[in-house]
Chain A
Amino acid sequence: MSIIDSLLNDFFWRALIGGLGVALIAGPLGCFVVWRRLAYFGDTLAHSALLGIALSFLISVPLNVGVIITCVVIALVLVAFSKTRTLATDTLLGILAHSALAIGLVTLSFMPDVRVDLTGLLFGDLLAMSRDDLLWIYGGAAVILVLLVTLWQGLLMSTIHEELARVEGFPVERLRLVLMLMFSLVIAVAMKIVGVLLITALLIIPAASARRLARTPEHMVGLAVVFGFVSVSGGLALSWHLDTPAGPSVVVTAFLAFLVTYSTTARTAA
């Protein structure tokens, strides 16, 4: 107990434990972002997290709750709008992403009593990780991992071929909804690590590095988690020794790992 306690009392260890927890769920979800081509979609959800924060202050609910609810609502709006096909999806995502970010910033400026660390929200504040944050991260990770394991077959099948999955009786629409919910949850907890502007990087870079080496979907998920761990610990070490901002350092490490993987491995056959 005393060892754990002393670990949790140290801000560096709290940052590392929290970062590893986020990498654990960013790995599998990042794979889905890559497989389903949702990078820009993830970006939009992440940007709208700032709107969620502003709204949380406005109606005084916990930040994480506000972020999750806002992300889910934005995700549902996106799905509903993309069905009408009046605008191309990337246009729609661009409109929503930046409008949500801008509305969030404007709303925050109307609340002079609220002192928020904007840089921390945008680029992460890993070293300010509290014990409460750790609870959120590991609680969220537990929910996401249980959902992933139970729904794995259906999630994978509907990613490979949606119509085939539907004919075979998988509840494709409901699975999509669960996936959105998980994205919202991971954004709410990952915001602390890398900030709303860099969350997508933490999702897709480890997954992209993993693709080069993986032979099965599960293999790719496992490798993405490992690359996530490397990025978080490397980024923290970089930040500790060179006094660089923690969130961007994590992303830089992830990128370096990606470069090394792509330059040292031949194209895999899978």
Chain B
Amino acid sequence: MTDPLVTLDNVTVRFDDRPAVDRVNLNVHRGDIITIIGPNGAGKTTLIKALLGLQPITGGKVQRASGLVIGYVPQNLQMEATLPLSVKRFMALSGRSRGECLKALARTGIEHLVNASVHHLSGGEKQRLLLARALARKPDLLVLDEPAQGVDINGQAALYELIRELRDELRCGVIMISHDLHLVMAATDKVICLNQHVCCSGFPADISHDPAFIETFGQSVAESVAVYHHHHNHRHNLHGDVVLGQSSPADSHGDSCNHVHH
């Protein structure tokens, strides 16, 4: 395997003696999509900021590959409304050529907003703009802090799909924070469940059965995530009736519903 893009070695961040991030070890390689999940106040954003070098760490070591280009999508783009700024100008500040900027905007599907003011974008458009800006830099590592914030449910799935595609096109590593457990479980290679320390990590399918995961998120959440991975042996038509293959739609749901949990 190639050298990791970023290595966190026993990284600890303390605020007033209270550890926000406690001895976390983590490697991000090219091609990885790693998602950090965890309850509020678990130190997810702090960990990401430590990785980026934005947050001074109190213990351990953060090693970034030399010459690493990072594309960062911060949690929100709260911009001072007193600063007049168009999408075009904001993209140009990345220092990349006009062509590259337009291409990146097109890739995230907001090329039609090139002349719009950044102050008039919706939450979803802002996220796509930030992603486009990160993209224009041709990053080795893409770091996203809750990229699907303010994006409706269909948009969220599309956004995660886009992130996967970008990973393949750029051959970059991806590390992100997410709250959308269901989408994460469906779209991620590796999940890290953080609660100050790494309470469990692994592949989505395995992690939902991990006792530490269940303890952190509660039985019902863990089950609902596991349910998401069940194998459907039937589909529903628009009325909610079960459609079993091509057979009669008259079957009632309760009888034929054989959810297989794994």
Contacts and interface: CB of A to CB of B under 8 A. Distances in A.
Contact of B94 (A168, A215, A268): A168
Nearest to A36: B80
A153 interface: yes
Contacts of A214: 84
Contact of B79 (A34, A153, A161, A168): A161
A184 B106 CA distance: 44
B33 to A, nearest CB: 19
B62 interface: no
Contacts of B89: 216-217
Q: From DSSP, what is the main secondary structure of chain A's interface residues?
A: helix
Nearest to A32: B83
A34 B90 CA distance: 19
A153 B90 CA distance: 11
B215 to A, nearest CB: 33
Contact of A161 (B70, B74, B117, B143): B74
Nearest to A34: B82
Contact of A163 (B72, B86, B94): B72
B84 A167 contact: no
B55 to A, nearest CB: 10
B103 interface: no
B74 A211 contact: no
Contacts of A164: 72, 74, 133
A217 B54 contact: no
A23 to B, nearest CB: 20
B200 interface: no
Nearest to A156: B93
B137 interface: yes
A220 B84 contact: yes
Q: Which of B49, B84, B90 has the most CB of A within 10 A?
A: B84
Contact of B70 (A160, A167, A216, A217): A167
A269 B183 CA distance: 36
A214 B117 CA distance: 12
A159 B137 contact: no
B85 interface: yes
Contact of A270 (B70, B77, B117, B137): B117
Contacts of B26: none
Contacts of B94: 168
A35 B80 contact: yes
Interface in B193-240: none
B80 A37 contact: yes
In this complex, the interface size class of chain B, counting residues with CB under 8 Å from chain A, is 20 to 34
A168 B74 CA distance: 12
A35 B83 contact: yes
B194 to A, nearest CB: 20
Contacts of B79: 160-161
Contact of B84 (A153, A163, A216): A216
Contacts of B52: 163, 166-167
Interface string B129-155: 000010001000001000000000000
Nearest to B119: A270
B95 interface: yes
Contacts of B53: 166-167
Contact of B83 (A153, A160, A268): A160
A252 interface: no
Contacts of A211: 82, 84
Nearest to B49: A163
B74 A35 contact: no
Nearest to B94: A168
Interface in A158-202: 159-161, 163-164, 166-168
B86 A216 contact: yes
Given A164-B72, A167-B54, A216-B86, A269 B93 contact: no
A219 interface: yes
Interface string B70-113: 10101001011011111001100111000000000000000000
B253 interface: no
A157 interface: yes
B259 interface: no
B54 A166 contact: yes
Contacts of B74: 161, 163-164
B14 interface: no
18 contacts: A35-B80, A159-B80, A160-B79, A160-B83, A163-B49, A163-B52, A163-B72, A164-B72, A167-B143, A168-B72, A216-B85, A216-B86, A217-B83, A217-B84, A219-B84, A220-B84, A269-B117, A270-B117
Given A160-B90, A160-B93, A216-B86, 16 more contacts: A37-B80, A157-B93, A159-B80, A160-B80, A161-B79, A163-B54, A166-B52, A166-B54, A167-B53, A167-B72, A167-B143, A168-B94, A211-B82, A217-B84, A269-B117, A270-B85
